[in-house]
Chain A
Amino acid sequence: MYNRSVHQRVVHFLRAANGRAYPRIWGLSREPSWVFFDVLVPLLNTTAFVFLYRAMHAPESYVGFVVLGATLSAYWLNCVWMMGTQLHWDKREGLLELYVLAPVSMMALLWGMAIGGFYQATLRAVAIVLVLSIAFGVHFDLMQWPMELAIFSITMLALYGLGMALSSVFLMWGREAWQLALALHEPAFFLTGLNFPLSKLLSSLPGFFTFISAIIPISFGLDALRQLMFPGEIAGVLSPMQEVLVLCGLAVFFVVLAIFALRRMEWLARVQARLSLRWQ
C-alpha cells in the first residue's frame, strides 16, 4: 500500500484542489463574455421580479427579499450547473478518465471546482447586490454581521456539499441526470423561496414540502439571512438559530454523503464502463 504521511496527503489534496480551481478562476478573465451572462442578465431578470412585486403592490421589504434571493441564487445555480454537471462535461471531453487515473481524491478536484465556482458566483452575487441595492434603495441590516457571515458560510458549505453529492450522480449517469436537474430547476426555485418569503409559501402547503424545502440548503440559509437583515419585516419558518443548526446538520450530511457517494459511483462507473461513455 502506498504510504504517505498525513502532511503529504494534505499537501497533495490542496495542490490538486488548487490545480482544478485554476482554470475556473483564470478562464473568466480570458473569456470576458461571462460578464454579460453571469452579471448583467441576472440583474435584468431580478429587476423584473422587483417590478412585478411593485405591480402587485407588495410591501417594499419584498424588494429586499428578491434582491437577497437573487444574490444567493447565483450560488445555487453555480452549485447545480458548475459542480454537478461539470463531471458530465469532463466526461464528454475525455478528461474524466484522466481525473480518475490521477492519484488524487475526486473530493480534491471537486473542492477545486467548488472554490473556482464560488469565486465565479461571488462576482455575480456582489454585482447583483450592489447594483440592485443602490438602484432600488434596499437597506440591509448588518448589525449582526458575525451571525450573518456565519449563516452564509454554513449555507455555502452545505450547498457545495450538496453540489459534490450531485456530481456523483452525474458521474454515473449522464444525460438522464442532466435532464433531471434541468427539470427540477424551477421546482427548486419554488421550494427554496428565492423570490418570496418561504414561510408564506410553506404555510399554505402540506408539511411534506417543508421537509423537502429544508433539505435544500439555500432555503433555510436565505430565510435566516432575511430574518436578520430585514428584522421585523418577515416571519421565518424557524428562528435563525434553529435554521443554523439545521444547516450545520445538512453540511455534515452532504459532505459525508458526497464522500461515500463519489466512491460508490466511481466504483459503479468502473464496473459499468460509464467513465468513458461519452454521449449517453
Chain B
Amino acid sequence: MSNLAIKANYVGRTYKVKASGKRRDQDKSAPKLLTALDGVDLEVKQGELFGLLGPNGAGKTTLIKICTTLLAPTSGQVSVAGLDVVKDAQAVRHKINMVSGGETSGYGILTVRENLWMFCQFYGIPTKEAYRRIDKLLRVVELEDKASTRISSLSTGQRQRMNFCRGFITDPEVLFLDEPTLGLDVTAARIVRKFTRDWVNENPTRTVLITTHYMAEADELCDRIAIINNGKVHACDTPQNLKKLLQKQPVFKIVASRIGLEAIEQLKTVSGVVRLTAKYEPEKDALDMSYILEDESAIGAAVTKLTSIGGNILSLKKEEPTLEDVFIKLVGKGLTEVDENVQP
C-alpha cells in the first residue's frame, strides 16, 4: 500500500476566460483559455506537513480544489489517500477536509457551536462526540466564550478561528489549509500553527497540505515545500535544501573590534575559510566581517583565531538565504504581482 497521501500526476486544468471590462472588439489576440495548472507532478507523503507556495494566480487554490474533489482536472490524475479524486470522489471526501482563509463558512443566524455541530452532522459524527470535539477545539483557539454567539456577531478573526475548528473537527486523514491564518492576530496565528504541527505529529497517518503567503510560516511549519508559479512546480524540497539552491556554503557575519590589515590576512588562512571580506564601519567603530566557510564547523576555528589575535567579538550570526530569497530567485517576482485580465 502506497504511503503517499497525495499524488498528482501531470495534472492540468484550463479555464475558459471571459473578456475583461474592456471593449470586446479590442485585443482580439487575447487568449481564450487560461491554463491554471500545467503538468503538475507532486507527491506528498503520509505524515507530512507540506507547503505550497506561489504568487496570486499561481494555481495553488486550483490544485487544492482538484484534490478536494471540487474541481475536475482537465488532464492528468490526482489521488488522495490512495483514492482517485475523480472516480472515487465520494470515498475521498470521507478522508479529507479543507479550511480556506478569509471566508465565512456558516449561517449567520446560528451560533458557533450550532454551525460546527451542523458540519459534524454532514460528516456523520454523533452529536455527543461532536460536542466533545467542538468544546476541545474551541478551547484550543480560545473561542470557548463565543460558543453561544451568532457568527454574524463575530469579528473576522473569530470567524476564521471557527472556520479553522471546522476543518479539524472531523479528524481527516488529509487536511487542506488554504491560507488558514489569514485574518488572525499574531497570538491566534501562533496557536493555530502550533496546533497544526502537534496535530500532525500526534498521528503519523495525518497529513496536511498548507498554502500560505507568509514565508516564515512555511519555513517554520513545513517538512517540505513546493514552489508553484504559472501552473508549474518550480522546486520541491525541504526548506533547508531549497535555501541551499541559492547558497551551498554557510555564511557567518561577525562584527568585531577593529584589527589591523595583517591580522585580517591571518584570518583568511584559517582552515575551512573559503573567503573573508571585511569592511570598517566608522559609525560603529567596528569591523563588519563576512566569512564564507566550507562547513559550519569551521566557525569555531575562525572565532578562536580572531580572539587570539586580539579581536573582540561584538556580534556573530549565521546568514542564510530566506525562503523569500529562494522564492524570488525561482519565480522571478514578488508574491503580490498578478496577471492582468485573468478571470477563471
Complex A–B touching at CB under 8 A: yes
Whether A137 sits at the interface, judged by CB under 8 Å, is no
Whether A55 sits at the interface, judged by CB under 8 Å, is no
Whether B221 sits at the interface, judged by CB under 8 Å, is no
Are A19 and B104 CB-contacts (below 8 A) given A270-B70, A270-B71? no
Proximity string of chain A (6-30) to chain B, C-beta cutoff 8 Å, 1 when within and 0 when not? 0010011001101110110011001
Q: B109, A23: Cβ atoms under 8 Å? A: yes
Whether A102 sits at the interface, judged by CB under 8 Å, is yes
A275–B344 Cα gap in the complex (Å)? 12
Q: A97, B70: Cβ atoms under 8 Å? A: yes
Expressed in whole angstroms, the minimum distance between the Cβ of B71 and any Cβ of chain A is 6
Q: B71, A99: Cβ atoms under 8 Å? A: no
A15–B103 Cα gap in the complex (Å)? 25
Please give, as numbers and ranges, the residues of chain B lying within 8 Å of A93 by CB-CB distance.
104
At the interface with chain A, which of B24-32, B94-102, B225-233? B94-102
Q: Which one of A1, A95, A100, A273 contacts B105 once the chains associate, using CB atoms below 8 Å?
A: A95
Please give, as numbers and ranges, the residues of chain B lying within 8 Å of A273 by CB-CB distance.
15, 65, 71, 344
A278–B123 Cα gap in the complex (Å)? 25
A1–B89 Cα gap in the complex (Å)? 10
Proximity string of chain B (67-87) to chain A, C-beta cutoff 8 Å, 1 when within and 0 when not? 011111000000000010000
Please give, as numbers and ranges, the residues of chain A lying within 8 Å of B166 by CB-CB distance.
98
Q: A27, B107: Cβ atoms under 8 Å? A: yes
Are A104 and B122 CB-contacts (below 8 A) given A270-B69, A273-B344, A276-B70? yes
Q: Which residues from chain A sit less than 8 Å from chain B, CB to CB?
A: 1-2, 8, 11-12, 15-16, 18-20, 22-23, 26-27, 30-31, 93-95, 97-104, 109, 267, 270-271, 273, 275-276
Q: Which residues from chain B sit less than 8 Å from chain A, CB to CB?
A: 15, 65, 68-72, 83, 88, 90-91, 93-98, 100, 103-107, 109-110, 114, 117-126, 150, 166, 344
Question: Can you list 19 contacts pairing A with B, beta carbon distance less than 8 Å?
Answer: A1-B83, A1-B88, A2-B94, A2-B95, A8-B124, A11-B124, A12-B124, A16-B122, A23-B118, A27-B109, A27-B110, A93-B104, A94-B105, A95-B105, A100-B69, A101-B69, A103-B91, A104-B93, A273-B71
